[in-house]
Amino acid sequence: MKTQKRSQTTRAFSKGYQAGIDGRSRSLCPHENELTRQTWLSGWREGRTDHWDGFNRAAKAQKLSNM
């Protein structure tokens, strides 16, 4: 059996951040589990903040690689 490189919560945060910085709605959260949903929403909020602060795609890639 293959092991995953990153935990589910880390991936959820990353995907939420990407959705937020791309300007997508938070209602698009794909998670039903409370923990991963909250983690996705946390990433989404941070992504929206960065979007509003003017971060671009290059900054997004760098920030995600540092997480």
Question: What are the chain's domains?
Answer: 8-66 (1.10.10.620)
Residue 46: its pLDDT value, please? 92
Average pLDDT over residues 10-25: 90
What's the mean pLDDT when you consider all of the chain? 84
The answer to pTM > 0.85 is no
CB neighbour list of residue 39: distance below 8 Å, 6 or more residues apart: 9, 12, 13, 16
| DSSP of 22-36 | TT--GGG----SHHH
How far is 23 from 20, CA to CA, in rounded Å? 5
pLDDT of 67 above 70: no
